[in-house]
Each structure stands twice: as structure tokens, then as C-alpha cells.
Amino acid sequence: MMPELLLLSEHTNEVHALPLPADQAFFYKYPHQKKDTDAYCFRLRPEAGGHRVETSYFIGVDWIGNERQAIFVQPKLNQGGFQTDFLRMLSTALRHPDVAEYTKDLFVIRFDQPAIDIYPEHDLLTPLLAVQFLSTVRAIVKRGLKKSYYRVERRLNGRVKGKIHQSSSIRQQLLDSNALHMHCSFDEFGIDSPENRLLKKALAFVQRYLPTVQYLHAAPWLQELLRYTLPAFEQVSDVTGTAALSHQKNNVFYPEYAEAIRLARLLLQRFGYHLSNVRKTDMLHTPPFWIDMSKLFELYVLGLLKDRFPGPRQVLYHYTASGNELDFVLHTPEYQMVVDAKYKPRYAHGFSNDDIRQVSGYARSKYVYRKLGKTEHDVIDCLIVYPDSTLRADGLQGRDLKAERIGAYVGMYKMGVGVPGRE
């Protein structure tokens, strides 16, 4: 029987009657080592009339206390009834291949928990995996598929190479009445490696999956990704079984392969490793999952900054100084500043003194002063970037990053950026 699904939006605070004991409060910590200990996906607080449900900046599906009640937290609606298009946000960031290495902590999938029955429109996980995988494979194709040595078995006529399989060779000779046929195994060098076969299999799953989702099937940017990546794998063999999917090795000279293989395995596990499972249905079975929208917005801002400042080492991401990890350090001829991404729409009408103190503390680091070539008498500018649903998602080109000063603070600015939306 399908569990009841409580539908909520991210960052809401509502009271609902839930089939839970009156004294039960459910607290869910996001299982991420780098997150603060009080990070949560949602909280349940019992009170008169039911439970107060508080959602944070996470979207996803999970169980509440037992397997009779589930919760679905969707992206918040933008102005005009449009919903935040988190897939386009991710695609904007992944236009820059080096961003892919920072996406590992973007989501968590709880495969150890029972699956939840949901409607296809509530499936946020599979589209995210598909877009992230396609964008990572695009970077691989742009560089060129990795060539390596791999083991092959072939029937050779009139020659011998590598190891001879005597019993199968004799059997084949008797069947063909040809004493020159030899069954051999040997190493070859090329792109038909187990790693590339795995990626090709996952691409086949994505290619079949996209037409089952209307808004993805019609998206030209996704079709362009497929047209760009698929031809590169024409000379790669198909994987016929699941045993070969677990024998891939990472190569330090091809770091993007590790992330692509991780995503490929998640996609295949999501569909149970059978292509026939990818079909348009009225109901889907999904493991509980959570997507960190705050992290996604941070990556989106990274993509926008790299679009605006494409020069080498102009945008430093996760720069570590004095034990603190800064979102961004901007080092361009025009701007030398500390930039922090805050997924807090309320910045459109105000600011947070705690955030001001945090960013100001980052800008006081001697490491930041040295990196930006400043003296102790200089005041390093700080910028807080936040989502603004009233703005178009047109990027940062031509915008003055110091156009809006925060209150009476010196060198402290904020800037809203539009995020893509869809109906």
C-alpha cells in the first residue's frame, strides 16, 4: 500500500496532523561530515493540534518515524508560480569541467532504507543524477576518452597471440573443421575499456530515461548534451552482464573518470541494472534521498563567477585560510574581495549580522591579505550573493558587484542573482 505523502516546500514552517505519538519529535541530521552538527533536512515538533514541521534548505523524500508516513519536500516556488529549476542551476555550474569534483556532497541516497512509492513528478533524484552524469561525461568527451590496456578474448585464424585456451580451441576446430582456429586471450590498447563500457551503459539508461519526463525530453540543452556525448562511444562495446560493472580502476591522470563512474553506478543501481526498468509509469519506487539546495546554489554562483571571470586563478573556490574554508576569493584586476553565497531569499529585504561577522572574519585572515596583495591598512571588500526571485537568470555579465552596500558597514556589499525556474 502506498504510504501517505506529506507535501511541503523547502524552508517552511507548518502544522500538520500526523500519525505519530504526541510526545515524539523527529530530528534528522544531514549525514555530511563538513556540515554543522545542527544541520537538518526537517524537524518535527509536537504541539497542540499535531506536529509543527520545519523544513530547511533540502529537497527530497524520506520516511517520518515509520513506514506509513513519508515526506516530500519540493523546491520553493518563485515569483509568478515558477518552481526553482535546480537542474538548470546544476547545468550552469557544470559548464565548467573543474566544478564536477565539488559535486560529490550535493546529495545523499539512503539505499539502506525501504523504497517509497511516489508519483513521477516527485522524482527529483533521477533527473539530478542524469544531468550531473551527462555534464561530467561531456568533460570526458571534450578531453578524449581514456585509452588503456584491457583483456580481450578472440578466435584467431592461422595465428596465435597471448594465451591459448586449448580446450575451447580444440572444440572450435572440431566444429569448424578448421585446425587453424585458435581461441586466445591477450591485452589490447584502446578506448574499449571496462570504464568506458560502464559509461556507455549508463548513457543508454539516460537516453531511454529522458523521454519519460516531459520537461526533460523537450529541453534543448539536454538533447545537445546527448548529441555531443553519444558519438564518442560508438567504438566502445556494450556491457552484457552486471559482473563487469564492478571492475573499474581510477587513474590520477583522468580524475573526472572517478566521478563519472560513481554517478554511473548510482544510475544503474537506481534502475536495478535492467534497461527494461526505465519506462514511463504512473508510480515510481525510490530510495529516500536528500538534495542540498544550499550547496547547489553555491555551485551555481561558482559557475556564474567563472562565466564572468574566466581567467586562470581569478575565482578561488573553497580557499582555506586560518582554518576557515571560504566560499570564494575573487582576485581580478577590477575586484579583490571575499565572496560568500547565502541561499537566503530574505537578503532581498535585509541581512544577517551573524553572516556579516562570519564573512568579515574571513576577510581578516593574513592568508587572504597575502593572496590578494593587500597591506594591513587596506580594508578587503566582502560580497554576499543571494537568490532573488524577482530577477531574471541572466548571469553576472556587466553587473557591478559593489552596486548595493549593506547598511553602515565599510566594504560590505550584497547582490541578488536570478535563479532559473520552470512551470
Q: Are residues 307 and 411 in the same domain?
A: yes
Q: Are residues 175 and 138 in the same domain?
A: no
Per-residue pLDDT at 30: 47
- Do residues 71 and 43 make contact, with C-beta atoms less than 8 angstroms apart? no
* Range ranked top by mean pLDDT from 9-18, 264-273, 389-398: 389-398
All residues at 6 or more sequence positions from 18 whose CB lies less than 8 Å from its CB, including other chains: 6, 44, 50, 51, 53, 64, 69
Q: Are residues 334 and 375 in the same domain?
A: yes
- Please calculate the CA angle 29-35-38 and round it to the nearest 5 degrees: 45
- Do residues 326 and 363 make contact, with C-beta atoms less than 8 angstroms apart? no
Lowest mean pLDDT segment, chosen from 207-216, 292-301, 412-421: 207-216
* Range ranked top by mean pLDDT from 62-71, 93-102, 235-244, 357-366: 357-366
pTM score? 0.83
Q: What is the mean pLDDT of the chain?
A: 82
Q: How far is CA 155 from CA 39, 52, 348, in A?
A: 59, 69, 69
Would you give the distance in Å from CA 398 to the centre of its chain?
A: 28
What's phi and psi for 131, nearest 5 deg? Answer: -65, -45
What's phi and psi for 417, nearest 5 deg? Answer: -125, 140
Q: Which residue has the higher pLDDT, 13 or 344?
A: 344
Q: Are residues 273 and 369 in the same domain?
A: no
Three cell numbers, residue 353: 549580522
Q: Are residues 307 and 342 in the same domain?
A: yes
Q: Are residues 262 and 308 in the same domain?
A: no
Q: Are residues 310 and 392 in the same domain?
A: yes
Q: Are residues 270 and 140 in the same domain?
A: yes
- Please calculate the CA angle 320-324-328 and round it to the nearest 5 degrees: 55
From 258, 281, 304, give the residue that closes a domain. Answer: 281
* Range ranked top by mean pLDDT from 32-46, 234-248, 343-357: 343-357
Partners of residue 148 on adjacent β-strands: 190
Q: Are residues 264 and 204 in the same domain?
A: yes
Per-residue pLDDT at 31: 47
Alpha-carbon gap, residue 383 to 415, rounded angstroms? 7
Q: Are residues 299 and 418 in the same domain?
A: yes
Instruction: Note whether residue 62 is domain-resident.
Output: no
Alpha-carbon gap, residue 116 to 4, rounded angstroms? 10
**pLDDT higher than threshold 60 for residue 247:** no
Q: E-strand spans in 80-220? A: 83-84, 107-109, 116-118, 148-157, 163-164, 181-190
Q: How far is CA 234 from CA 48, 249, 376, in A?
A: 63, 22, 59
Helices (H) and strands (E) in the chain, counts: 10, 21
Sign of the CA dihedral running 195, 199, 200, 205: positive
Q: Are residues 309 and 257 in the same domain?
A: no
- Please calculate the CA angle 293-296-301 and round it to the nearest 5 degrees: 125
Q: Are residues 244 and 263 in the same domain?
A: yes
17 three-state secondary structure: coil
Structural domain of residue 155, as residue ranges?
148-190
What's phi and psi for 34, nearest 5 deg? Answer: -85, -10
How many structural domains is the chain composed of?
Answer: 3
